[in-house]
Amino acid sequence: MSDSAIGTVEQQLRQERDRFLAFAFCGNDMLLELDAEGRIRFAAGATELMAGDTSGKLIGRPFIDLVAAGDRVGVGALVAAAVQAGKRFDDTPFILAPPGREAIKVEATGFSLPQLKGHCFLAVRRPRPARSAAPDAPKPAPPAEDILAARRMIEARDFDVAFQPVVSLDTGAYHHMEALLRLKPGALGGMGPGPFVRLAETSGLVADLDLAVAELTVTRLLEVAEKGRPLSIAVNLSGRSIETPGFSQRLCKVFSVRRALSQLMILEITDCDAITNLDLAGAFVRNLRLQGYRITLDDFGARGASFELLRRIEVDYVKIDGRFIAESRKDERTKALVVAMTGMCRALGVTAIAEQVEDPETIDFLRECGVGYGQGYLFGKPMNDPDLLLGESMKNMRWRRTGLEVASYTSGVRGG
């Protein structure tokens, strides 16, 4: 294939990626791409419901012809500003009135993208339900005694980690394990790991918790390395932790026991919506990837923030939200989004992993959608046995550690 042909393919892939990102991030009814003259060049979504025709028949038509006469001047000015000056507009209400069809009240977000100079994306949706005029009731703060107990548990590492496999949907082979927090029976009145993490988030302890889980995971991995070659392992990091001052340096200290850890550790970013500084998050990820660590975005598809993160930073894996997968099995339109999502991931060199795989039918469905890896109870529930980490993934690495070295590691990380 010639260089020019390769360049054309790459440009098409970038355009398809940006089209899907815009659709998923900005709206879920209809996406239009307009050229500099305001004519429709691409249409996706519920075009017959919203615009009165199939996506193919909308191509080439002036978008303004679909707008009610009384709104054409205002909408036309907004679109022109988006195309010519790159100015985004959000949640703009107007009336969509396709010829011969009943008018529909809609909202639209419009913006241009660098990859398509002179073009404008328009995400159109029916208005969202109005929120109650009454302000949201403030969430009660966690009891002070619970916060104090949680702090003590984190400082003492008074919890454990369980391991759940991520496997190839084609071969069934383990790809890596995910380390999951597990509390000891009766801790904090029998609180589960999910509520405990939320307690840590709301009380400002989540960065300390993430570091504690990472340390305990490395300790388990070093213990297992005395018996053989460990598998790769994913450790969760909250988006809130990433923005905590000094977190990156403290995390690197946890992993400093062996440079080879960078070949084993996968860092899984959770709670992406909590990230407010994408530049800081990008720098955090770039620094870790330069050291050889792999990065995963969790709950991909469930929230808009994960799409924006994928656009702004490089990652190695995305985990497609399990609820999104369950919905896509029941709805062809949602399935189309999963197919588009996995295609976009392939174009970006990102591996897709599906969560909550619980039956063989889901495997067949995921294969149809192009998903290569899965995690769920079908392959194994989280278990506390560290020997689950034994594998053959590090054949050329000497990993044997003595019990004294493991004890020295935990003392050094905590400053003892």
Q: In what order do the strands lie in the sheet with 30-34?
A: 40-45, 30-34, 120-125, 104-111, 89-96
- 3-state SS, one letter per residue, for 236-276: EEEHHHHCCCCHHHHHHHHCCCCHHHHHCEEEEEECHHHCC
pLDDT value at residue 373: 96
pTM of the entire predicted model: 0.68
* All domains of the chain in start order, with CATH: 3-125 (3.30.450.20), 144-413 (3.20.20.450)
305 by DSSP, 3-state: which?
helix
Task: Give the C-alpha separation, 255 to 249, whole Å.
Answer: 10
Q: What are phi and psi of 213, to 5 degrees?
A: -65, -40
Q: What are phi and psi of 138, to 5 degrees?
A: -60, 140
Of 358, 346, 166, 193, give the one whose Cα is nearest residue 266: 166
pLDDT value at residue 254: 92
Burial of 130 (0-12, 13-18, 19+ CB in 10 A): exposed
pLDDT value at residue 139: 66
Q: What are phi and psi of 134, to 5 degrees?
A: -70, 135
> Which amino acid does the sequence have at 124?
V
Give, for all 416 residues of the chain, the pLDDT tens digit: 566 665 665 666 566 555 555 555 444 578 888 888 889 988 877 788 888 888 888 999 999 999 999 999 988 888 888 777 667 777 789 999 988 878 889 988 887 765 556 788 888 888 765 544 455 556 677 888 999 999 999 999 999 999 999 999 999 899 999 999 999 999 898 999 999 999 999 999 999 999 999 999 999 888 887 777 788 999 999 999 999 999 999 999 999 887 778 888 999 998 887 888 888 888 999 999 999 999 999 988 665 556 667 777 889 999 988 888 888 888 777 787 788 888 888 888 899 999 999 999 999 999 999 999 999 999 999 998 888 887 654 334 444 445 555 555 555 656 55
58, 44 Cβ separation under 8 angstroms: no
pLDDT value at residue 2: 63
Task: Give the C-alpha separation, 317 to 358, whole Å.
Answer: 21
182, 384 Cβ separation under 8 angstroms: yes
Report the helix count and the strand count for the chain, using DSSP H and E.
15, 15
Kindly give, in sequence order, each residue whose CB lies less than 8 Å from that of residue 322, ignoring residues fewer than 6 positions away.
354, 355, 356, 376
Place of tokens 């067949």: 364
pLDDT value at residue 399: 44
